[in-house]
Homo-oligomer: A and B are copies of this chain.
Amino acid sequence: MHTDPHTPDLRPDSAAHPHGHRPMGHEAEDERPYGVEPEFVEEIVALLRARERDAVLARLEALHAADIADLIEQADPAERADLIDLLPAELDGEVLSYLNPDLREALIGRFEPQELAAAVADLDTDDAVELIEDLDAETRAQILAKLPDAERALVQENLTYDEDSAGRMMQRELVAVPEFWTVGKTIDFVRAATDTLPEDFYDIFIVDPMHRVVGAVPLSRLLRQRRAMRIADLVAGEVDVIPATMERAEVANLFRQYALVSAPVVDPSGRLIGVITVDDVVRIIDEEAEDDLRKLSGSGDTGVFSGIADIARGRVGWLTVNLATAFLASGVISLFEGTIEQIVALAVLMPIVASMGGNAGTQTLTVVVRALATHELSSANAMRVVGKELLVGLINGGIFAVMVGVIALLWYGPMIGIVIGLAMIINLVVAGLSGALIPLGLEKLGVDPAVSSAVFLTTVTDVVGFLAFLGLASAFLL
């Protein structure tokens, strides 16, 4: 099926998607048509152990850089180093930029600064910046010193912007033309300037004499027009301009909101200084979603490729906070030691009230945190959502009050059934309200609701759960 007359050229600057021999349409349907299979990883590992250097190289040649990065990720640590050492120099940059950041940091020491500088020089500015931003100051300076002057200036300028800003992630290579050019002149310019252009681009930006953006023309629209047409006449509506200081999460929201493929980045005076393309945004959307997940669960910023000490350290903070709140809950229980001594059934049943509250609250919390992150929720509709959660808490509180109450009644008698049912309603209503109000309040205070909401929530549901159940029991059962 593949009739490409060329041998695939693997140099990173030669092709947008220099893909290798992945299976295509005629494959078995349950096979993943991309990435590397575990069997392939095992084959490569076996070859590496047998020191079959050439056989490994032959297999690597057919792979996309993203797949080589996957292969390195899936291999054992010992083989990872071997693979990196084997990598042809012209692949270094692209493979490194696809590699999981934790692993990249661990493996980058295997390269000489000279090699890294060559790898970085092959990349577009955004990928180059990503590669060197995590290096220690000394290595970074060594690499920068070895870059061509023009490239070094651009990379250094990107590095002056905040880590999570549009300026840090933008690519400097772009196509900008003056307003008075025609479609024909623009096409001729692109044909002639082939060396200084980005590898791929999707929009041509139109700038005024001060280099401020006045419009953007998608390539598919340019291509449809006669050569004599003025390019400025192809602009429809205003262009979405990204200030270099914009946070990357907001950049992602902007791309998502207007289904953009690329957008210009401007400095404070409105001058065009770079471009952000959707492939970087896809990565960010992914990382932001993962960040939210990790923050909600308190997993720290470590992943499956982090070192053991980093993982353990990253999680201690959250567990310590959780310990403090657990002791707070214990303090509440200890107020009722006398009651528990008389009715030991309370000790048996009390975790149910707290646990149901925690789970119900987390359900609300997840939805609200996510809606805040995607701007579906704002002060305009917040109170409606809180009202809804109050009612949902009442409805589900009622349902589970009956269920828990009946079981407790069969187990320990009618009075305990009534007490635990009432406590359940109270805690589920409080859980629904807290699940909505805690993240909304934190957002209002300028605190990221994903990070700290869950601690506050479980503190509330534990304390209220134990207090309601043991308090009602003290009042009605003694």
Contacts and interface: CB of A to CB of B under 8 A. Distances in A.
A181 B371 CA distance: 49
A144 to B, nearest CB: 26
A34 B253 contact: yes
Contacts of A2: 214, 238
Contacts of A253: 34-35
Interface string A273-288: 0000011011101100
A323 interface: yes
Contacts of A92: none
Nearest to A71: B380
A333 B319 contact: no
A382 to B, nearest CB: 9
A213 B2 CA distance: 8
Interface size class of A (residues with CB under 8 A): 35 or more
B33 A246 contact: yes
A270 B26 contact: yes
B237 A17 contact: yes
B240 A256 contact: no
Task: Give how many copies assemble into the complex.
Answer: 2
Contacts of A232: 3-5
Interface string A377-390: 11111001100100
Contact of A282 (B25, B237, B256, B376): B256
Given A232-B5, A238-B8, A340 B351 contact: no
Nearest to A31: B243
A396 interface: yes
Contact of A215 (B4, B34, B281, B286): B4
B304 A367 contact: yes
Of A21, A296, A366, which is in contact with the most chain B CB atoms at under 10 Å from its CB? A366
10 contacts: A2-B214, A33-B243, A190-B220, A281-B282, A293-B370, A297-B363, A333-B347, A337-B344, A337-B348, A355-B462
